[in-house]
Amino acid sequence: MNWSVKRIWTICKSMNKKKKGAAAIVMVAAVTFATGIFYTREVKTTQTAQTTSEKQTTEERAEETVSAKKIGICIYRYDDDFMKLITKELKNSFIENYGIEANDIFTFYAEEDLEKQQEQVEKLMERGVCGLIIQAVEEAKIPALADQCAEKQIPVVFINSEPTEEEKQRWSEEKIAASWVGTDGRQAGAYQGQLILESPEHGDFNGDGMVSYVMIQGDLDAEDTKNRTEYSVKTLTDQGIRVQKLTEVSGNWEESRGKELTEQALKRYGRRVEVIICNNDAMANGASEAIQEAGRVVGKDICLVGVDGLRSTVTAVRDGNVTGTVLNDYHGQAKKAAEVLMKLVDGEHVDTEYLIDHVKISGNGQ
């Protein structure tokens, strides 16, 4: 799938308006719900002589109130623009689609500390959450987190960080109430490769018959990093393009690192740098700043691609400062994750994996 930046922009704008309307509806609903709870409690304490059926109704309603669902969300760190978007969408989805109260959604950030994340999971279970959404600090620790939840019989949906095939198989064999909602990093990488192929001279600006590139990677332990890196380059070589890797370094998904590493690469390799491939948009935004400061011009002598579809990057694509990006559909992922978790909470069967498609965003109207 390939969307022009104009189309994405229009959708972003219209989504905001809708969100405002939805927020107003949620507020009205929250007030109505709160009034209902108050009424239920008041009836129980003031009516002494009630018939059995009246009493039963009151008790049932009181019980309904007590069993209000609480949800826990665990995210690897706070300072990550993409994860902020997905977290916001998750909360919206639980509130708007499942009537969960905002106060009953607890979000914890682990600041990239696995032990801290495990403690947070424990704390949330003690608080009585009926289900958890976890973005694991380390993909290798997903089995331990899944076991931690299974021990207390709390359903869990992992997002973003990817479990292995064996782990998903284990959930199904051992009937662990767990699932994963994420994306295929190979697809994101392939779209980045296509964006480069579609750019002027397919990135071979100096016409030496070779595309010389700099790869700025995310967290080196993440499957997304490996797959996006591999498939962006593979898409070029599969088309018979000769490539030369100048350098490949991790910027840990961070904008400031993206800028620093690009500055270093441009200083060291100068005009030899024709393409900069960033595993995400935050780093691409940093790279874009460094490119402009070095007097280089995207589309004329350099090509720059990212992944995520952050609003700031989509704007930069529109303005010609980034060649293109790939929408990492946070809205779709959040909606699906909330849906799968609520199904698990209701004891329904779910698959162990749900993949949400990426969308290519280029500035050339394709």
Of 193 and 274, which has the nearer Cβ to ligand GAL? 193
Q: In which residue are the tokens 């994101």 written?
A: 188
Question: What is the DSSP code string of 223-253?
Answer: HHHHHHHHHHHHHHHTTT--EEEEEEEE-TT
Shortest distance, position 140 Cβ to ligand GAL, whole Å: 14
d(C-alpha 98, C-alpha 81), whole Å: 25
Where helices occur in 107-164 by DSSP H, the ranges are 114-126, 142-151
Buried b (16+ CB within 10 A) or exposed e, 325-356: bbbbbbbbbbbbbbbbbbbbbeeeebebbbeb
What region, left, alpha or beta, does residue 81 occupy, with left being phi > 0 and alpha being psi -120 to 50 degrees?
alpha
Residues that bind ligand GAL (CB under 6 A): 80, 82-83, 160-161, 218, 222, 224, 253, 280, 282, 307-308, 328
Shortest distance, position 188 Cβ to ligand GAL, whole Å: 8
Q: Percentages helix, strand, coil for the chain, rounded to the nearest 5?
A: 55, 15, 30
Is the torsion defined by CA of 8, 10, 11, 16 positive or negative?
positive
Shortest distance, position 193 Cβ to ligand GAL, whole Å: 16
Of 130 and 163, which has the nearer Cβ to ligand GAL? 163
Shortest distance, position 268 Cβ to ligand GAL, whole Å: 25
Shortest distance, position 177 Cβ to ligand GAL, whole Å: 23
Of 80 and 167, which has the nearer Cβ to ligand GAL? 80
Shortest distance, position 329 Cβ to ligand GAL, whole Å: 11
CB under 8 Å to 231, separation ≥6 — which residues? 185, 186, 187, 188, 189, 190, 192, 193
Measured from the Cβ of residue 137, the count of other Cβ atoms closer than 10 Å reads 25
C-alpha torsion 180→154→141→122, nearest 10: 140
Of 148 and 325, which has the nearer Cβ to ligand GAL? 325
Of 67 and 164, which has the nearer Cβ to ligand GAL? 164
CB under 8 Å to 34, separation ≥6 — which residues? none
Of 160 and 179, which has the nearer Cβ to ligand GAL? 160
Question: What is the DSSP code string of 263-281?
Answer: HHHHHHHGGG--EEEESSH
CB under 8 Å to 342, separation ≥6 — which residues? 98, 131
User: How far separated are the first and last CA of the chain, in Å rounded?
Assistant: 10
Structure tokens at 3: 């969307």
Of 81 and 260, which has the nearer Cβ to ligand GAL? 81
Shortest distance, position 37 Cβ to ligand GAL, whole Å: 37
Of 321 and 325, which has the nearer Cβ to ligand GAL? 325
Shortest distance, position 125 Cβ to ligand GAL, whole Å: 23
Of 213 and 253, which has the nearer Cβ to ligand GAL? 253
Shortest distance, position 280 Cβ to ligand GAL, whole Å: 3
